Amino acid sequence: MNPADPGVSELKFRDPARGRALSDTLARVTTEIGRAPVSIMHVCGSHEQAIARFGLRATLPRGLNVIMGPGCPVCITDVPEVDEGVVLARMGVRVATYGDMVKVPGTSLSLADAQAEGARIDVVYSVAHAVELARSIDEPLVFFATGFETTAVATAAAILDDPPPNFFVLSAHKYIPPVMEIVAEMPDTRVEGFLAAGHAATITGWGVFEPFVERHGIPVVVAGFEPLDILGGLVRLVELVRDRRATVENMFPRCVTKEGNLRAQEALWRVFRPIGGRWRGIAHVPNGNLRLRDAFAHVDARRRFDIDMRTLWDFAPAALTSECICGDIMAGIKSPHDCALFGKACVPGSPVGACMVSSEGTCRIWHQYGGHPDLGAPAERSSGGFCAR
Amino acid sequence: MCLGVPGKVISVDGWIAVVDFWGVRKQIRLDVVDEAVEPGDYILNHVGYAIRRIPTEDIAATLALYEELLRHAAQEDDLMATDVRGEIDGAGHEPR
Amino acid sequence: MASVLDDRITLRYGAGGRAMRTLIREVLTAGLARDDGADEVGLAAMDDGAAIRVGDRWLVVTTDSHVIKPAFFPGGDIGRLAVSGTVNDLAMMGATDVLALTCAVVIEEGFAREDLVRIQRSIRDACAEAGAAIVTGDTKVMGRGEIDGIVLNTTGIALTDAVVRDCGLRAGDRLIVTGTLGDHGMAVMARRHGLELEADLRSDVAPINALIRAVLAAAPGAVVAMKDPTRGGVASALHEMAEKSGVGIVIDETALPVRAEVRAAAELLGIDPLHVANEGKAVLGVRPEAVDAVLAALRAQPLGEHAAVVGRCTADRVGAIVLDTGFGRRLVAEPEGELLPRIC
C-alpha cells in the first residue's frame, strides 16, 4: 500500500489521533466564546450519519449544540408526494426507487405496505439502474426520484441520456439553499452558523452561500464527510462564530470550488425548475422543490398518469401522527428526546414519522447510534486487534 | 449519500468508467463530471455518477488545512487572551 | 416497548431481529414451552439449539430451513449453507461431534436437475468437512410458482458432555470473533440486488465444528458463551448475548477484522459490517485469563486465521452494545428488517 497513493491519503481523514486533536481544539474554541450553548446547524443527513457513526457526538463539547436541520431528503419528502408514489404502485404501475424511500409512511401507507399488497416496487442503487430496468421490460417504469440537488443531477443526466419511452420520473427532488433562509428566519432559531454539505456544494459551488451570509450575517463553512472533515469544519465554524465573522469558508477544497460543477448545474437546471412546495413538517419552502420542465413532459409521471389521491381516502391516518413532532425536529427546534413517541411507539420497526424511517433521519440515527450518549472517552485499545486491510 | 473514499478510475469507455473503491469495482457514469477523466484519476461518486475529479494535490492541501488549524489554535491560546476576549466582553453579549 | 404485531406477516418478521423474536415468543411458541428445568435447554431459552439430558450427557438438536436467494452465490450455495448452518448451530451449543443430519427438500416444478446435482454435491462435500452424515430426509415437489426455486430443511443431532449457552457472560469477559466479518452477507447482497459490484466478495460459508472443538479443548470451561452471527450479523448476536447475560459490551471498532473489499462494498451501500450475516464464523465470550489460549487455538487453523479480540463485557449499561470508533463512542443498534442499500 503506497502512502503517496491518494486513496491511501484519504485514509488520513480518518486518523484518530488528528481527530482527537481537533476535538480538543473544538472544545477549547467553544469555551473561548464564553457563553453557552453555541448552536450551529448542518443540513445534511450524511453529515449526521457520519457524526453518529464515528461517535463524534459523544466527544462534542457541552457548550456546543450541533443541530441537524432539514437535511434528510427522504424525511422531508412530503406526505402527498409519498402518496403519489403509493397511488401509482397501487394502480399497478411498476415503481423503482432508492432503498430508503420504501418504508416512508405517506398518509397511511408506505411503498412497502403497497408492496405487501402486491404492488411491484424495485429498489435501485442508481437512477441509471432504473433506466436499464425500463429498457428490459415493456411496461412503464416510474422512477420515484428523491434526494437533494446532488442526487437530482444524476436524475437529470439520466433524462438527458435518451431513456426508453417507457421510463418516467416522479420527481420529489429538493433544493437545499432556500431552506437555510427559512431556518435562519425562524423566530425560535438560535442558529449561529451553518455547516454546509460538501457533496451538494461540489455541484453548486460555495459561491451560492454568499448572498445568504450577507443577508443574515451567519457564517457558513462547507465541510466534507470524513471525521477529520467534519471536526475541521466545526472548528473553523466555531472560530468564525467566536470572531463574529460572517463569511463563507470552504473546508473541502479537494472537491468544492467557488463556481462548482458548471456542467452538472447546466444539466440540473435544463431538466428541472424550482417551485415552491411543502417540505414535511416545514410548511412552505419557496423554490425548494424541483419539478420537470415542460420540455420533458414526456418523461414526467405526473403528466403521463392520472394520479388520483382519493383512492387513499379509505384509509384512516394512524392515530399517533398527531403526536409526531418530526417537523420541529427537522427544523432543528426540538430533538428526538423531546418526543413522547421516540423509542417507544416510534421505532425503526414501526415508525410513526419520517425521521425514524430514513437512515438519514435524525430520529433513526439517534435511535441507532444513541443520540447524545454519555458514553465516556474512548478506551484503551484492546489487545490483539487485527484489521485485515 | 455516499460517504465513500474516492474511487480510482481503472478504465474509461465513452460515458462509463470502471472505478475501483478499495478493491470493489463499479461502473460509474461520467455524464456530469466537469473535467475529462482518465484511468488513474480519482473521482467522487454520488449514486453512480462521478461529480468531481479530485486533483491529487488538493488532498494534500486539505490535510495541510487541518494541520494549520491545529497549529493556529495552539498559538492563539497565547495571543487570544487580552485582545479578542476583551472585545467580546465589551460587546455585552449575554449568555443564552 | 409495545409489542406491535401486524395482521399480516411481512418480511421483517423473518429478518432475525426484534420483530422476529416477538413473533416467535408471542405467536409461534405460545403455549408450547414445557418447564425447561435443569434437564433441558428448550424453547424458552431461544438458544441456537435445544439440549436434553440423556443419562450423563446432553443430546443437542437444532433445525433450520434455508431459502436463500440466489441459490448459488460466490463461495457457496444453498446446499453448503444448509449443512454448515446446522453443524454450526450444534457447535455453538458445545456439540462439535455431529451424530447425524437430516435433509428435506422442497423443489419447485421446473428446477433444473443439474442444479439439484450441484447442490447435492455441495451437501456431500460439506458433510465430509464436518465429519457428519445425512441419515434420513424427505422430498417434495410443488407446482411452478407455488414455491420459489428450492427450500432445504436440515436437522442435526449431537451428544455433548457440556452445553455452552449464549447467556454466560459476566463483566470482564472478552469477546472474540473467529475471523473476518461480513463476507457472506455482502457477497449475497451484491448479487441479489444486481448491484453490479465487481469485487472479490465471497461467502465464508463453512462448517466450523472442528475449529470450535479445538477451542473448547484448549480452554475447557473458559468459553462461557457462543453464538454464530448469521442474520443480523455480529450486532444481533452481541445484543442477544448481552441481554441474556445481563451485561453491557464495549467493542473496539479498530480491532474488527474486516476485509478491505467487504468494508468498501458496505460503505458504498451504506451498510454497517456489524449488521451483515456471516456463515462460517462465531462470536465467543471468553474468560480473560483464557484469551491467549483461545486465540492460539483459533489461529492455528485456516478457518480461524484472522481471529481477534474485539471487545469486553461491562457491568454497566446492561444490554447496550457500545462501539469505540477511535474518534468517540456510539451505540450499535439491533438490526431491524431486511438490509437495503441506502441512497449512495
Whether complex ipTM tops 0.90: no
Per CB-CB distance under 8 Å, the chain A contacts of B6 are 6-7, 10
Per CB-CB distance under 8 Å, the chain B contacts of C268 are 2, 4, 21, 24, 26
Calculate the average pLDDT of chain C. Answer: 90
Residues 6+ apart with CB under 8 A from C113: none
Taking CA atoms, what residue in B is nearest to A50?
Answer: B3
Mean pLDDT of A129-156: 94
Is residue B18 located within the same domain as residue B34? yes
d(CA A336, CA A223) in angstroms, rounded, equals: 24
Q: Residues 39-58, chain B: which have Cβ within 8 Å of C?
A: 47
Q: What is the pLDDT of residue C193?
A: 62
Question: Lowest mean pLDDT: which of A346-350, C93-97, C225-229?
Answer: A346-350
Burial class (CB in 10 A: 0-12, 13-18, 19+), C39: exposed
Q: Is C183 helix (H, G, I), strand (E, B) or coil?
A: helix
Q: Could you tell me whether strands B42-46 and B7-13 are parallel, antiparallel, or unpaired per DSSP bridges?
A: antiparallel
Residue with the bigger pLDDT between C130 and A117: it is C130
Question: Lowest mean pLDDT: which of A57-66, A172-181, C131-140, C332-341?
Answer: C332-341
pTM value is 0.80
> Among partner residues C18, C174, C250, which is closest to A379 by beta-carbon distance?
C250
Model confidence at B74, pLDDT cuts 50, 70, 90, reads low
Identity of the residue numbered A323: E
Model confidence at A333, pLDDT cuts 50, 70, 90, reads confident
Q: What is the second-level CATH architecture of the domain A79-175+261-312?
A: 3-Layer(aba) Sandwich (3.40)
Q: Is C80 helix (H, G, I), strand (E, B) or coil?
A: helix
Per CB-CB distance under 8 Å, the chain C contacts of A345 are 2
Phi, psi of C36 (to 5 degrees): -55, -45
Biggest distance spanned by C-alpha atoms of chain A: 65
Per residue in C84-112, pLDDT (tens digit) is 999 999 999 999 999 999 999 999 999 99
Q: How far is A358 from chain C (nearest CA, A)?
A: 9
Model confidence at A371, pLDDT cuts 50, 70, 90, reads low
Domain for residue B78, yes or no? yes
Q: How many CA atoms lie within 13 A of A223 on its CB side?
A: 31
Contact indicator for A353, A346 with CB cutoff of 8 Å: yes
Residue where the block lists cell 469544519: A233
**Which domains, and CATH codes, for chain C?**
1-32 (no CATH), 41-160 (3.30.1330.10), 174-331 (3.90.650.10)
Residue A130 bridge partners (DSSP): none
Model confidence at A273, pLDDT cuts 50, 70, 90, reads very high
C-alpha cell at position C344: 449512495
Number of neighbours of residue A298 by Cβ within 10 angstroms: 13
Whether residue C255 and residue A382 make contact (CB cut-off 8 A), yes or no, is: yes
Domains A14-71+178-250 and A79-175+261-312 alike in fold:
yes
Is residue B11 located within the same domain as residue B22? yes
Is residue B20 located within the same domain as residue B33? yes
Residues 6+ apart with CB under 8 A from A116: C8, C10
d(CA B35, CA B27) in angstroms, rounded, equals: 18
The superfamily (CATH) of domain A14-71+178-250 is: HypD, alpha/beta domain 1 (3.40.50.11750)
> Among partner residues A7, A29, A203, which is closest to B6 by beta-carbon distance?
A7
Number of neighbours of residue A44 by Cβ within 10 angstroms: 28
> Which range of residues forms the domain containing residue B66?
56-90
Residues 6+ apart with CB under 8 A from B5: A7, A10, A11, B21, B22, C264, C267
What is the residue extent of each domain of chain A?
14-71+178-250, 79-175+261-312, 319-369
Is residue B44 located within the same domain as residue B77? no
Contact indicator for B9, B39 with CB cutoff of 8 Å: yes
What one-character DSSP code corresponds to residue A225?
Answer: S
- C216 to each of A162, C164, C298, how far by Cα in Å? 62, 10, 10
Is residue B61 located within the same domain as residue B77? yes
Whether residue C198 and residue B2 make contact (CB cut-off 8 A), yes or no, is: no
Q: What is the pLDDT of residue B80?
A: 38
Q: In chain B, at which residue ranges do the beta strands (DSSP E only) sit?
A: 7-13, 16-21, 24-29, 42-46, 49-54
Residue with the bigger pLDDT between A359 and A243: it is A243
Mean pLDDT of C112-123: 97
Contact indicator for C250, C324 with CB cutoff of 8 Å: yes
Per residue in A104-136, pLDDT (tens digit) is 878 778 898 899 889 999 988 889 999 999 999
Whether residue C331 and residue A383 make contact (CB cut-off 8 A), yes or no, is: no
C67: pLDDT strictly greater than 50 = yes
C153: pLDDT strictly greater than 90 = yes
Is residue B13 located within the same domain as residue B50? yes
Is residue B20 located within the same domain as residue B50? yes
A369: pLDDT strictly greater than 80 = no
Per residue in B41-56, pLDDT (tens digit) is 989 888 889 999 988 7
Model confidence at A279, pLDDT cuts 50, 70, 90, reads confident
Helix, strand, coil distribution of chain B in percent, nearest 5 = 35, 30, 30
Q: How many domains does chain B have?
A: 2
Among C259, C263, C268, C272, the strongest candidate for a mutation testing the B interface, having the largest count of B CBs within 10 A, is C268
Q: What is the pLDDT of residue B91?
A: 37
Residue where the block lists cell 407455488: C146
Contact indicator for C209, C130 with CB cutoff of 8 Å: yes
Domain for residue B2, yes or no? no
Nearest to A55 by CA among C254, B67, C240: C254
Q: What is the pLDDT of residue B4?
A: 45
> Among partner residues B1, B65, B95, which is closest to A199 by beta-carbon distance?
B1
C197: pLDDT strictly greater than 80 = no
Residues 6+ apart with CB under 8 A from B13: none
Residue with the bigger pLDDT between A284 and C197: it is A284
Q: What is the pLDDT of residue A57?
A: 86
Question: Lowest mean pLDDT: which of A140-144, A188-192, A338-342, C296-300?
Answer: A188-192
Is residue B79 located within the same domain as residue B47? no
Helices then strands, counting H and E runs in chain A, come out as 15, 11
Q: Could you tell me whether strands A64-68 and A94-98 are parallel, antiparallel, or unpaired per DSSP bridges?
A: unpaired
> Among partner residues C199, C270, C343, which is closest to B24 by beta-carbon distance?
C199
Per residue in A13-69, pLDDT (tens digit) is 778 888 888 999 999 999 999 887 899 999 888 888 888 888 898 889 988 989 888
Contact with chain B for residue C268, Cβ under 8 A: yes
Whether residue B69 and residue A45 make contact (CB cut-off 8 A), yes or no, is: no
Q: Which residues of A246-256 are buried (b: 16+ CB within 10 A; e: fewer)?
A: bebbbbbbbbb
Nearest to A115 by CA among A130, A129, A131, A99: A99
> Among partner residues C198, C263, C270, which is closest to B25 by beta-carbon distance?
C198
